Structure formats: C-alpha cells, structure tokens
Amino acid sequence: MDKSIKTEIIEKYKNAATRLILLDYDGTLVDYNRNPSDAKPSDKLSGILKKLVENTKTKVMIGSGRGHHDLERFLGHLQVSFIAEHGAMIRKE
C-alpha cells in the first residue's frame, strides 16, 4: 500500500461519524495453535482492541468458526461483538 492510500484511509477513519471494524480470529488476530484452547489473544492485542472500543464511534466485530464459549473466555472482558460457530451464534455489544 503506498503512502497516499494509507494517508487517505487514516483521514477517512478519523473523519467518519461511525466505524465498523470486522476482524477474523484464528490465523489473523492470533496464530493457529496445535491446541486451539491455547490460541489466546496477547496482552498487546487485548490492549489494541480495548483502545478501539473505548471510542464510542467505533464498533469491533470478530468472526470465528470457534465455539462461542472459547470467544467468551478469550474476549468476554472486552466490549467487542463476535460471530461464532460460523454464524450460528452472535454476541452484540
């Protein structure tokens, strides 16, 4: 991505009345892990997500094929929405 496109995206983000950030969990936010229950978000990632949702103009939604119990355990302390179980379960914040 060249610098002008990055600058444009940042400006549009800053000036947006509302924002929706859609993220994928396994393989994107966290690495795949031999033991899926060990694929927890790092403290750094949790901090970034917390900072994003502290801004009332920003909504964060995380999608995953995981069961909702895993996502509740990993992300339940954050005010993020998620779609679990390939769309069978949705938690809205």
Asked whether the CA dihedral 39, 68, 91, 73 is positive or negative, the reply is negative
Average pLDDT, the chain: 93
Domains of the chain: 18-91 (3.40.50.1000)
> Model confidence at 69, in pLDDT bands (50, 70, 90)?
very high
Give residue 20's Cα distance to chain centre.
Answer: 10
What is the per-residue pLDDT for 75? 93
> Model confidence at 20, in pLDDT bands (50, 70, 90)?
very high
What are the residue numbers of the active site?
Answer: 24
